Amino acid sequence: MSPEDSKLAADTIEYRPGQMAEPADHDDPLHGAQVELNIGPSHPATHGVLRLKVLADGEVLTRIEPVIGYLHRGKEKACESLGWRKFFVHTDRLDYLQPMLNNVGYAMALEKLAHLEVPERAQVIRVLMMETNRIMSHLIALGVSAMDLGAISMFFFTFDQREKIYDLIDAYTGHRMNNTYIRMGGVYADLEEELERHFSAFFDNFIEQVDEWESLLTGNRIWYERNRGIGAITAEQALSWGLTGPNLRGSGVAYDLRKSEPYCGYEDYDFEIPIGERGDAFDRYLVRIEELRQSARICTQALERLKSSRGANVIADDRRYVLPRLSDVTSSMEELIHQFKIVTDMSLPRGEAYMGVESSKGELGFYIASDGTAAPLRCHLRSPSLMNVQVIPFLAEGKLLSDVVAVLGSVDFVMGEVDR
């Protein structure tokens, strides 16, 4: 890259006084010419196809510019052309580490627009699935952030447990990822009694595992030194950057949609919102570890509730939006026509709706606007990962290369959701 090009690249980033290094002075032996370095789009620490264009003064990265768009698939546009129902399979592929959480977010936006009531048992199954998905996503965040800092075994420990959850999810939905099991008005199928027991058995041992991981990392001097004070952000700054989820809670703001605007009956569950104090990578790590425990707690309560509602309906009985049973479709002409109508041109009432759910990365919002036809007028995603990526330069500029890797791991983003 020619010097002009690199200057152009540098100029696209706004200067923030106090954080930036001095401009390169070629006569100064300590702060001479800066190296332009590409971290990504294929780099072990970027976890996906994020590209960081950085200017490096030795080990210190004086300027960082995240470049996104390598995974852009036009998801929002796809929703507008595919229609209400068919977008469900696409929501799985947004943040592919927590497919069902995305499903629920989208389904609830539709239900809000259509004023559709979801049966009690379906709500509980949704909560169970959302929390297991949150655990899965946090396990990845924990494993890879540890791996980035060199604790490679942690990655395998968390993946080991994640595999077990995948087995359970697989037994329920028939897929490991991209389940698309949440439907408008409920869930596709009931959770069987035996599977409930398997879920319970998993969560009985899970807390022990979390304690073991904590014993490997939390008290570890190297881990502490690598994370404490790295990428610190105050509560006000975090709010103005639009951070939500564990990143905001790490800064000490107890904002969690499950508590502040409960949905799916979260108000009936007994759980706590962990918050940090300093808003650095270590606090974000501690918040995620504690959320693993709290999610397991919610899951245990959800499984308890499932016991008392066995056999109940898991999808709303509303013929406008819910498909008829397959056995009826194959035996009755009217039901077949009904199914065809729903699949081809199910339309939602005019209006708009926004539904935000607490995903593992922050507030995952679906905004949909309908003109009463079979496809949305506009579908917009509020992606928490995008907010997490945009804060990276603020957190990491002027830090060492190793710290940037620690920040990348601790803010936790998934490129599928950033690019959409």
Per CB under 8 A, residues contacting other proteins are: 35, 37, 43-45, 59, 146-153, 156-157, 160, 216-217, 220, 222-223, 225-226, 400-403, 405
> Around Cβ 31, how many Cβ atoms within 10 Å?
17
Considering beta carbons, is residue 83 or 143 the nearer one to other proteins?
143
Question: What is the Cα–Cα distance from 234 to 250, expressed in whole angstroms?
Answer: 9
Q: Taking the complex as a whole, how short is the minimal distance between the CB of residue 147 and other proteins, in angstroms?
A: 7
Q: Which of 56, 14, 18 is nearest to 35 (CA)?
A: 56
Considering beta carbons, is residue 153 or 344 the nearer one to other proteins?
153
Q: Taking the complex as a whole, how short is the minimal distance between the CB of residue 396 and other proteins, in angstroms?
A: 13
Q: Taking the complex as a whole, how short is the minimal distance between the CB of residue 415 and other proteins, in angstroms?
A: 17
Q: Check if the beta carbon of residue 374 is closer than 8 Å to that of residue 345.
A: yes
Considering beta carbons, is residue 160 or 345 the nearer one to other proteins?
160
Considering beta carbons, is residue 83 or 231 the nearer one to other proteins?
231
Q: Check if the beta carbon of residue 306 is closer than 8 Å to that of residue 128.
A: yes
Task: Work out the angle at residue 166's Cα, subtended by the Cα atoms of residues 165 and 167, and round it to the nearest 5 degrees.
Answer: 90
Q: Taking the complex as a whole, how short is the minimal distance between the CB of residue 217 and other proteins, in angstroms?
A: 7
Task: Write the DSSP string, 361-419.
Answer: SSEEEEEEEE-SSSS-SEEEEE-HHHHHHHTHHHHHTTEEHHHHHHHHHHH---HHHHH
Q: Taking the complex as a whole, how short is the minimal distance between the CB of residue 155 and other proteins, in angstroms?
A: 8
Considering beta carbons, is residue 60 or 67 the nearer one to other proteins?
60
Q: Taking the complex as a whole, how short is the minimal distance between the CB of residue 57 and other proteins, in angstroms?
A: 12
Considering beta carbons, is residue 222 or 377 the nearer one to other proteins?
222
Considering beta carbons, is residue 59 or 345 the nearer one to other proteins?
59
Q: Which of 264, 190, 247, 289 is nearest to 385 (CA)?
A: 247
Q: How far is CA 352 from CA 109, 215, 272, 369, in A?
A: 9, 48, 32, 4
Q: Taking the complex as a whole, how short is the minimal distance between the CB of residue 26 and other proteins, in angstroms?
A: 18
Considering beta carbons, is residue 13 or 401 the nearer one to other proteins?
401
Cis-peptide into 119, omega within 30 deg: no
Q: Check if the beta carbon of residue 164 is closer than 8 Å to that of residue 200.
A: no
Q: Taking the complex as a whole, how short is the minimal distance between the CB of residue 157 and other proteins, in angstroms?
A: 7
Pair of tokens at residue 163: 């595999």
DSSP state of 44: T
Question: What is the Cα–Cα distance from 243 to 415, expressed in whole angstroms?
Answer: 16
